[in-house]
Amino acid sequence: MERQASSVPTSRRAPAPGTGAKRTIGYAEPKLAEWLVCEKRHRSPSSDWPRNSDGDVLRSMAKRGFDFSLPHEIDFNIDFQAWPPPAEAIQLLRSKCQDVKIYDEGQYVQLRINAHVTYEFVIRTQADFSEQMKAFGGVCESWGVFYMPFKPEA
């Protein structure tokens, strides 16, 4: 997981799908809000959240007082091997989700879903979008939640 504080948004250049490469994310008010982004890498089971990047992000959110009992806006990012993505891919995504944004500068598509943040939900949603976009050269390997942390990270 890579986090970067900045008063100016940083580059969202998409890594090549499936490479596990990192994206850099900036956030407007680093002392008030934090943008957490997770890139899938490993999956190793444990009694708690798995010891992987998705589980690490959830643990960090919990340490900072994230309220998992409420639904939140969750952003899922889809990277495509070729840009721009096919119109059919965008139509399919819009049939699945009302809030779809295309970021030409960063070359990714973002879907925003209001739901409870759980490990199972983010893993299943990334897998579902990746499967749906596979034929179009797309993959969903990152997600994020914008929230106001209650506690500083230790």
| Mean pLDDT of each 10-residue bin along the chain, 154 residues long | 30 42 36 40 49 92 90 97 97 96 96 96 97 98 88 62
Nearest to 9 by CA among 36, 34, 27, 33: 27
136 CB neighbour count, 10 Å cutoff:
19
With H, G, I as helix, E, B as strand and everything else as coil, classify residue 68.
Answer: coil
> Looking at the domain covering 34-147, what would its CATH class be?
alpha beta
Q: What is the pLDDT of residue 46?
A: 30
Nearest to 93 by CA among 123, 121, 135: 135
Q: Would the pTM count as exceeding 0.95?
A: no
Q: How far apart are CA 67 and CA 29, in angstroms?
A: 20
**Strand stretches in the chain, DSSP E:** 34-39, 71-80, 99-103, 108-116, 138-147
Q: How far apart are CA 62 and CA 52, in angstroms?
A: 15
DSSP secondary structure code for residue 136 in this structure = G
